[in-house]
Chain A
Amino acid sequence: MYGLGVLKGLWVTIKNFTLSYFTRKRLTTVQYPEERITLSEHARTFPILVYDESPDKLRCVACEICAKECPPKCISIVRAQDEAGKPLKQPKFFDIDYSVCMNCGICEEVCPFDSIYMDRQFELSAYERSEEFLYTKDRLAKSAEYFSKIRPETAKKVEEKRKAKEK
């Protein structure tokens, strides 16, 4: 019968419209800045550097594996030297260009020192695109507490691994 299909379709839209006032199943959106959905354990945005006690004691030893493996080559590292010119096991500069980074997470996979991890901070808009997206060492450094807060399960595993290594 002509028009029955259209009426049936309209019934579906009416059902969806009305029920969206009563069930979460039909209305799945949240009011964003006030309400937020919880991100999952492995949710990733951009890399951070984890330190243990103080920001100048980064876990990073400037081995440059992440810089080599990074697909868009957004990491640049310069190794620190002491007065005699002997290379130290820490970075002098560690810059990540967030505007180039493609959030693939390969850096955190290849890091042998559990230093670089993916953050979940996504509200990073800025007024200017060269300076403000260039994350230097001090802006990337995040404490181990912060890391265990955002990714409790991974942090636990990493802690166990590091303790076993120390012994």
Chain B
Amino acid sequence: MNCPYLQNMDQQSTLDTQRLEVSLGPQHPSTHGVFQMDVVLDGEQVIRLKPVMGYLHRNHEKLMENMSWLACMPYTDRLDYFCALANNFSYALAVEKLAGIEVPERAQYLRVIMAELTRLINHIVLVGFLLNDLGAFFTPVLYAFREREKLLDLFEDVTGSRMMCNYFRFGGVKRDVPPDFILRVREIVNQFPKFLDELEELLTHNEILLSRCQNVGILPKALAVNAGITGPVLRASGIPYDIRKIDKYSIYGRFKFRVPVGEAGDVYDRYYVRILEMRESLQILEQAINEIPDGEVISKAGAQAAKMPRTLKVPKGDAYGRTEAPKGELGFYLVSDGSGKPYRYHVRAPSFINLTVLEDMCIGQKVADVIIILGSIDIVLGEVDR
């Protein structure tokens, strides 16, 4: 019990409060899915919190052990269903590392463009739903969805599906983009900052938002590092750790972009880091569409593996492919025994690991703030429970 409130309780309690155990969820709109929190309250303050996971367990990892390498790809879409393409990216990287497949230049650019568009979608939806949790019902989230819809239309034109894209293949992407793709991305790059400015005018300096979010749910630097937190949650605590900068996977080494960091590590910083990250994503997109070359979108070996998945020979061994997914470090650890299927398939899901510090952030806070702290971690239950 490291709660200062509890230690001082004997001295200061003139009014007796009652301990109350509240079960938040699993059927609660603010838990972003089927997620339960057992919260012990003293008055209105949280003194203990236990996350209960597993309501959306779909046996993902075990199921993949009976699938061919390619057949796992559409299932990765269903992990974090807001960022299907980011999940595809990690998995494709892991298998390419294992099988030693090269990726052509144009495909690399297309992958980066799609991954950054996914980041825009994820962050804009997160900001909308965070405001929903704060009680600003549906105005910000519908503005966000309006913009998201434009990106999803683009995804439908390119991949065939709005959310379950299944676009990446080993050694490239499924098909080339339509001819007007670059123009449409350029339009998004031009229009999106205007929308962000408007959203910031609505939110960033709003006094209600400031008083609800500042100094709430503080995640100290040391705890964030020790608990293995990644992504915007870690960066909001002031640590400039971005796998795009550190690994320089794919072609991220070629782009100029900054890694925004927060100072206090509270809910407000987590909100603002995401706004800044979207602006950096737009920078990357602009550079990518200016530099994108013509050429093949899938290598020869990759095209064969896509047309005849059983012919893909993956040698014995293991590989870990990781990317900076919108929620943090998304990694796939794959072990191959030389047959046509993964021998072991493990997902390092960012929202699951980021959830481990939920109790530390919530202790001592009001019960109403638990909702926004959970919202600011940005979890998707498809990925947490798998």
Contacts and interface: CB of A to CB of B under 8 A. Distances in A.
Interface of A: 2-6, 8-9, 11-13, 16, 26, 28, 39-44, 68-71, 102-106, 109-110, 112, 118
A102 B307 contact: no
B207 A42 contact: no
Interface residues of B, number: 41
Contacts of B203: 9
A110 B178 CA distance: 22
A9 B206 contact: yes
Interface in B63-115: 67-68, 70-75, 77
Interface string B16-54: 000000000000000000000000000000000000000
B156 interface: yes
A28 B149 contact: yes
B174 A109 contact: yes
Given A2-B207, A71-B67, A42 B74 contact: no
A13 B178 CA distance: 35
Q: Which of B146, B174, B202, B209 has the most CB of A within 10 A?
A: B202
Interface string B208-220: 1110000000000
Interface of B: 67-68, 70-75, 77, 139, 143, 146, 149-150, 153, 156-161, 164, 166, 174-175, 178, 198, 201-203, 205-210, 306-310
Given A13-B139, A71-B75, A109-B306, A3 B207 contact: yes
26 contacts: A5-B209, A6-B208, A8-B202, A9-B202, A9-B203, A11-B201, A12-B198, A12-B202, A13-B139, A28-B149, A40-B156, A41-B178, A42-B157, A43-B161, A69-B68, A69-B70, A71-B67, A71-B75, A102-B74, A102-B164, A104-B164, A106-B71, A106-B309, A109-B174, A109-B307, A110-B308
Contacts of B178: 40-41
B77 to A, nearest CB: 8
Contacts of B202: 8-9, 12-13
Name the 9 nearest CB pairs between A and B, nearest first: A104-B74, A42-B160, A5-B205, A71-B71, A40-B157, A12-B202, A44-B160, A5-B206, A9-B202
Given A5-B205, A6-B206, A8-B205, A103 B307 contact: no
A133 to B, nearest CB: 18
B121 to A, nearest CB: 16
A70 B74 CA distance: 10
Contacts of A71: 67, 71-72, 74-75
Contacts of A40: 153, 156-157, 160, 178
Contacts of A3: 207
A2 B208 CA distance: 10
A110 B160 contact: no
A106 B156 contact: no
A3 to B, nearest CB: 6
Nearest to B149: A28
